[in-house]
């Protein structure tokens, strides 16, 4: 089996911080979240790693491959992931996933079990114990000044109105940018995502309108 593992690139200083202050990416690794990706394949649960992959058919070949959930994979036990994947080797052509920058894995360890490892995008981590305002880019500060006090960001309860607005906003985004593939969630998938344990909803408002 050819295993391809893509890792989110992060500056060495931020990667060190990630290992000192680990962040579990539970939501993306849950079966509930993986099930919302049913438009691309079926959920495969990895019991030892405690995370999910998506099994996709390869055209009309009768073959399948495995991919991590969009946008990246999330396992509670990264060390056990490779044993789980090896058990699936006979039934699948390849495994591809994005490893989040907060996963406590080592590139040297990954290179022992994957055929191809590359950096993929860059993510910056913010230490929220410090003043977050000092870490904003000039562009973000400019946008905040332009919006002024008219925009209020708050935590929202998952009411029917909030669910409907969430679906409307995402469907508008899909249409405006011609989004397809894994990110093209259908209405039911978007509603189901709000029911994932630990899900929190934040919205930006101008008056009564959620942006």
Which among 118, 42, 53 has a CA at the least distance from the CA of 84?
53
Write out pLDDT tens, residues 28-72.
888 999 999 999 999 999 888 888 999 999 988 889 999 989 888
Kindly tell me if the per-residue pLDDT of 5 is higher than 80: no
| pLDDT computed for residue 106 by the predictor | 60
Q: What is the mean pLDDT of residues 84-96?
A: 81
What's CA 20's distance to the chain center, in Å?
21
Q: Please, which pLDDT band fits residue 13 given cuts at 50, 70 and 90? A: very low
Place of tokens 């002024």: 148
CA-to-CA distance for 211 and 209, rounded, in angstroms? 6
3-class state of residue 32 by DSSP: helix
Dihedral in degrees, nearest 10, Cα atoms 36, 187, 169, 55: 30
**The dihedral of CA 178, 181, 182, 187: what is its sign?**
positive
Q: What value does the mean pLDDT of the chain take?
A: 78
How many degrees, rounded to 5, is the angle at CA 117 between CA 114 and CA 119? 155
Closest CA to 197 of 23, 28, 51: 28
Q: Is residue 172 very low, low, confident or very high in pLDDT (cuts 50, 70, 90)? A: very high
**Range from 19-28, 90-99, 132-141 carrying the lowest mean pLDDT:** 19-28
Q: What proportion of the chain, given as a percentage, has pLDDT over 70? A: 80
Q: What are phi and psi of 9, to 5 degrees?
A: -75, 140
Residues in the chain: 211
Can you tell me which residue has the tokens 């491959």?
65
Q: Does pTM surpass 0.85? A: no
């Amino acid at each position: 089996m050819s295993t391809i593992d893509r890792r989110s690139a992060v500056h060495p200083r931020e990667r060190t911080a990630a290992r000192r202050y680990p962040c579990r990416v539970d939501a993306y690794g849950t079966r509930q979240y993986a099930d919302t990706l049913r438009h691309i394949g079926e959920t495969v649960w990895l019991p030892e790693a405690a995370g999910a992959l998506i099994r996709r058919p390869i055209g009309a070949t009768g073959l399948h491959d495995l991919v991590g959930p969009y946008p990246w994979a999330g396992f509670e036990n990264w060390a056990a992931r490779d044993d789980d994947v090896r058990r699936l080797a006979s039934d699948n052509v390849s495994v591809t996933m994005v490893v989040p920058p907060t996963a406590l894995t080592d590139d040297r360890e990954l290179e022992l079990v994957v055929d191809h490892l590359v950096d993929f995008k860059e993510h910056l981590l913010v230490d929220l114990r410090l003043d977050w305002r000092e870490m904003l880019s000039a562009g973000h500060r400019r946008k905040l000044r332009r919006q002024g006090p008219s925009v209020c960001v708050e935590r929202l309860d998952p009411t029917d109105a909030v669910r409907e607005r969430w679906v409307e906003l995402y469907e508008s985004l899909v249409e405006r940018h011609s989004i397809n593939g894994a990110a093209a969630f259908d209405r039911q998938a978007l509603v189901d995502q709000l029911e994932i344990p630990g899900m929190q909803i934040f919205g930006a408002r101008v008056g009564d309108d959620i942006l």
